[in-house]
Amino acid sequence: MQVSFTPDEIVLIVQPKEKRGSTAETVRGIASLGAAEAGELTFLGNPKYRAEAAGTRASVVLLPLDYDGVPQPNQLHLLVDNPSVALAKLCSRLEQLLWPKPAPGIHPTACVDRRAKIAISATIGPLCVIEADAVVGERSHLQAQVFVGRAAKIGQDCWLMPGVTVAAECELRNRVRLQPGVIVGSDGFGYDFVGGRHEKIPQVGNVVIEDDVEIGSNTTLDRARFSRTVVGEGTKIDNLVQIAHNVTIGRHAILCAQVGVSGSSTISDYAVLGGQAGIGGHITIGRGAKVGGQSAVTFNVDPGAYVNGSPAISYMLGQRLEVLHRRLPELFKRMDKLEKLFPADDAGERG
């Protein structure tokens, strides 16, 4: 990444509430507090690292308003409401260099069915396949080797990275970003056990992905048995997540990496599922509820609740039980001691 910002340019972009010190360096890199060198910019985003801010060698430091330290020589402190958001503003300038806007048009190596409808401002990259009756909206970008199946709909300003598959009749609304290898619309996993064999239950619904959803690499979303599997507006899904058939995910939810959601479950608005959590079938995670990483949820979770563990229980109860669990050796010793006070004829019963 070619980075080059003068201190003045940075001030213009992040609009600090306060400036302390100054530097003559041009910023040519971004790094963490501990790793940054002269000529680089750093930031204090996580309070955990506050102690490291004083010693950083960075030339420009983004800091929270309540930071009371003093800059070193040739170092500029910029105090802002939210150093993480300020950094994001800088990085979105860099992002435009990383991903230059592609020219509209259909690459000559793409296979586009003549019954597909491609907006004039869309970009269809090399070696993409678009089947009959599919639709790609204005300014959407299919980067390379993307597959869009029969009658699938891609809205406006979407970005499908290399190797994405959107199967027949599935629908992406607007500004949907799919990282490489995402599969939208594979068959749901449903069989009837008949005569000693698993007979396939046809999966004839689809997947609908609403506005502003982002989905991580190699994540899979199955089409509904009938009707639709839904991912609501603004929801963000990380890598290698599994969304089963007929799942409904609400708006602005967060699903971390390697989460699995079983069939017909509902993840409500603003819910947060930690990495590797598993959600059973036919259950509901309430609005704003939090599920800890690696938890296994097998029952409905109330709105706003925080559950954890496998099987999941309330976070507070889980913490308490965990503490007592680690005191089991002590408890067994105390039991032994008490029993010695009352010698009985039952020694044989003990494990």
Q: What residues act catalytically?
A: 245
Which lies closer to its own copies via its Cβ, residue 73 or residue 167? 167
Question: Is residue 183 involved in binding its own copies (CB under 8 A)?
Answer: yes
Q: Across-strand partners of 248?
A: 230, 266
Give the pairing type, strands 147-148 and 191-194: unpaired
**What span, in angstroms and rounded, lies between the C-alpha atoms of 333 and 324?**
14
Q: Exposure of 293 by Cβ count < 10 A (0-12 exposed, 13-18 middle, 19+ buried)?
A: middle
**What span, in angstroms and rounded, lies between the C-alpha atoms of 292 and 306?**
8
Q: Which residues contact 113 (CB under 8 A, 6 or more apart)?
A: 130, 131, 132, 133, 134
Q: What is the footprint of its own copies within residues 250-309 (CB under 8 A)?
A: 252, 254, 256-258, 260, 262, 264, 275-276, 278, 280, 282, 293-294, 296
Question: Is residue 214 involved in binding its own copies (CB under 8 A)?
Answer: yes
CB of 164 to its own copies, least distance (A): 9
Q: Please identify which residue in 198, 299, 304, 316 interacts with its own copies, judged by CB under 8 A.
A: 198
Which lies closer to its own copies via its Cβ, residue 70 or residue 207? 207
Indicate the SS3 state at residue 210. coil
Contact 167/187 with Cβ under 8 angstroms? no
Say which residue the tokens 């029969």 belong to: 150
CB of 76 to its own copies, least distance (A): 18
CB of 325 to its own copies, least distance (A): 6
Structure tokens at 318: 């889980």
Q: Which residues contact 69 (CB under 8 A, 6 or more apart)?
A: 53, 54, 63, 77
The closest alpha carbon to 250, from 264, 230, 265, belongs to 230
Q: Please identify which residue in 19, 37, 55, 339 interacts with its own copies, judged by CB under 8 A.
A: 339
Question: Is residue 56 involved in binding its own copies (CB under 8 A)?
Answer: no
Q: Please identify which residue in 133, 287, 310, 315 interacts with its own copies, judged by CB under 8 A.
A: 310
Q: Please identify which residue in 47, 73, 329, 343 interacts with its own copies, judged by CB under 8 A.
A: 329
> From the CB of residue 348, how many other CB atoms can be counted at a distance below 10 Å?
5
Q: Please identify which residue in 12, 38, 54, 199 interacts with its own copies, judged by CB under 8 A.
A: 199
Interaction mask 4-43, its own copies, x per CB under 8 A: -------------------------xxxx--x--------
Question: Is residue 70 involved in binding its own copies (CB under 8 A)?
Answer: no
Contact 237/218 with Cβ under 8 angstroms? no
Which lies closer to its own copies via its Cβ, residue 76 or residue 272? 272
Interaction mask 111-150, its own copies, x per CB under 8 A: x-------------xxx-x--------------xx-x-xx
CB of 70 to its own copies, least distance (A): 25
Q: What is the footprint of its own copies within residues 76-95 (CB under 8 A)?
A: 82, 84-85, 87-88, 91-92, 94-95
Question: Is residue 194 involved in binding its own copies (CB under 8 A)?
Answer: yes
Q: Which stretch binds its own copies (CB under 8 A): 13-21, 54-62, 68-76, 335-343?
A: 335-343
* Count of residues in the chain: 351
Q: What is the footprint of its own copies within residues 146-175 (CB under 8 A)?
A: 147, 149-150, 161-163, 165, 167-169
* Alpha-helical regions (H) of the chain: 7-14, 50-53, 83-98, 315-326, 328-341
Q: Could you give phi then psi for residue 333, rounded to 5 degrees?
A: -65, -45
Contact 279/295 with Cβ under 8 angstroms? no
